[in-house]
Amino acid sequence: MADERLIAALDVHTMEDVERLVTTLGDSVSYYKVGMELFYSVGAQVVTWLREQGKDVFLDLKLHDIPNTAAGGICSMMRLGATMLNVHASGGYTMMKTAAERMHAEAEKMGIACPKLIAVTVLTSINQEDWEGLGQALQIKSAVVRYAKLAKKAGLDGVVASAQEAALIREVCGEDFLIVTPGIRPAGSDVNDQSRIATPFNALKDGSTHLVIGRPIYASADPKTAALKILEEMEKVK
């Protein structure tokens, strides 16, 4: 049975690949991430199709623009039927607040359930050396917590952050704040291009509410078995 804490990343290129993977995974996965690679290849049809299959959708397009433009983009994405949307926290308090307020107002006007809006803190591919190369003085963990507090103040529902920062975020942002964690690698998996990683068990134990998992599932010779093994590990943390 599916666990809504698992978000399987559809990091593929075509609708054929999407349909094949979703069909293979069946009822083991109920929540999917659609990112830039797929959305820019096939467009809104992938969100529509997934919703028709009864799946939840995290539309991971990481908007970052002036407040009015970001808010307009979020409202356009909301109309597609996505369950969760995101912006970059580095866009600032005003951008996040404007996007959240416009999204809620538009959802109320349309009479639909409002999606969750979360903010990307620091990409999990970035290590401390990369971070310092950007001229950042704070340690990554401190910057992530600052972004999380800012996102909550702006009225967002949560953040995207690595498991390494999850416990700190939970402490300062409370129990109802979403922490969506990519860079999840089951024991024995390849790290690939991620830097700040964790196992499913440790991520949930440290406070993550959702785990975004891509390669360990879709690149497996048996994706459904891979997903079921991840779910078994997740079940150990309630």
The pLDDT assigned to 83 comes to 97
CATH classification at residue 230: 3.20.20.70
Distance (Å, whole) CA 122 – CA 125: 8
The residue from 60, 97, 116, 141 that is catalytic is: 60
The per-residue pLDDT for range 59-77, each reduced to its tens digit, is: 999 999 999 999 999 999 9
The residue from 65, 130, 205, 229 that is catalytic is: 65
* Annotation: binding site for substrate: 11, 33, 60-69, 124, 185, 194, 214-215
Which residues, in sequence order, are CB contacts of 223 under 8 Å at separation 6+? 21, 24, 25, 217
The residue from 17, 27, 55, 62 that is catalytic is: 62
Which residues, in sequence order, are CB contacts of 103 under 8 Å at separation 6+? 71, 74, 75, 78, 85, 114, 115, 117
32 and 50 Cβ atoms separated by less than 8 Å = yes
How long is the chain? 238
* 206 a catalytic residue: no
* Annotation: binding site: 11, 33, 60-69, 124, 185, 194, 214-215
Residue 1 lies in a domain: no
Count of domains forming the chain:
1
CA neighbours within 13 Å on the CB side: how many for 219?
A: 9
* 65 a catalytic residue: yes
The model carries a pTM of 0.93
Residue 138 lies in a domain: yes
* 62 a catalytic residue: yes
The whole-number mean pLDDT for each consecutive block of 10 residues of the chain, a chain of 238 residues, reads: 93 96 98 97 98 98 98 97 97 98 97 97 89 91 96 98 94 97 76 63 95 95 96 91
What's the domain range around 47? 6-234
CA neighbours within 13 Å on the CB side: how many for 144?
A: 29
The pLDDT assigned to 193 comes to 46
